[in-house]
A = this chain, B = another copy of it.
């Protein structure tokens, strides 16, 4: 059994666990289930993956790679201004989070891990095997890649005039990302109001998008003030 066959076996286990994690969630999925679904013995899964978290890290890697594709798919289409790219990113980001819920949760979980990782005093709370995992460092990179692609969009927007020029691209992009993450996190809780919900998933999103755009381009200038200015010259 060469390295290639081994990779195939790993992939088999990985895909079985992705299916299970998606259906039942990480906690409810037992290593027994993974083994059964992969048609191998439970012990063997520990031959290919150090432990359950290591397996989850492998899943997370796939998840973050797909999220990165969302970023890449937008920037690779030419002929749009930066603002439009970011608006589409916002939409597709939410779509991703909704459609690939388990994947998105894995991404968020990873961000939580990195938060611990960055705080020396908290790092020891992370399972050492996770840090040793080949996927961990790769994930840090992919995370960073997403940041770079997003920053590129802002830079592009500043260049083409769709975003106000005094903004700092990188900080701005990460603020946008922060908004997306937080929005996703808050979405549910607010929807709860249910009966008299003036503010819920549907009604809130336009407001959110509007605020995001205003923040980036400075609506007052473009929509209200500009006409007045025009009459000046």
Whether A191 pairs with B229 at a CB distance below 8 angstroms is no
Whether A186 pairs with B144 at a CB distance below 8 angstroms is no
Interface magnitude class on chain A: 35 or more
Whether A211 pairs with B172 at a CB distance below 8 angstroms is yes
- Which residues of A from 28 to 71 have beta carbons under 8 Å from B? 28
Given A181-B181, A211-B215, A228-B232: A115 in contact with B189 (beta carbons within 8 A): yes
**Using an 8 Å CB-CB cutoff, how does the interface string of A166-178 with B read, 1 for contact, 0 for none?**
0110111011011
- A199 contact set on B, CB distance < 8 A: 170-171, 174
- Contact partner, A178, options B116, B168, B170, B182, Cβ 8 Å: B182
Interface residue A183 (Cβ < 8 Å from any Cβ of B): yes
Whether B182 pairs with A220 at a CB distance below 8 angstroms is no
Whether A171 pairs with B208 at a CB distance below 8 angstroms is yes
A189 nearest CB across to chain B (Å): 4
- A185 contact set on B, CB distance < 8 A: 108, 111-112, 115, 178, 181-182, 185
Q: How far is the CA of A70 from the CA of B213 in the complex (A)?
A: 29
Whether B218 pairs with A190 at a CB distance below 8 angstroms is no
A176 nearest CB across to chain B (Å): 9
Q: How many copies of the chain does the oligomer comprise?
A: 2
Q: How far is the CA of A164 from the CA of B208 in the complex (A)?
A: 15
Interface residue A78 (Cβ < 8 Å from any Cβ of B): no
Q: How far is the CA of A125 from the CA of B224 in the complex (A)?
A: 49
- Which residues of A from 105 to 131 have beta carbons under 8 Å from B? 108, 111-112, 114-119, 125
Whether A114 pairs with B192 at a CB distance below 8 angstroms is yes
CB-nearest residue of chain B to A203? B171
A contact set with B: CB distance below 8 Å: 25, 28, 108, 111-112, 114-119, 125, 140, 143-144, 147, 164, 167-168, 170-172, 174-175, 177-183, 185-193, 198-199, 203-204, 207-208, 211, 214-215, 218-221, 224-225, 228-229, 232
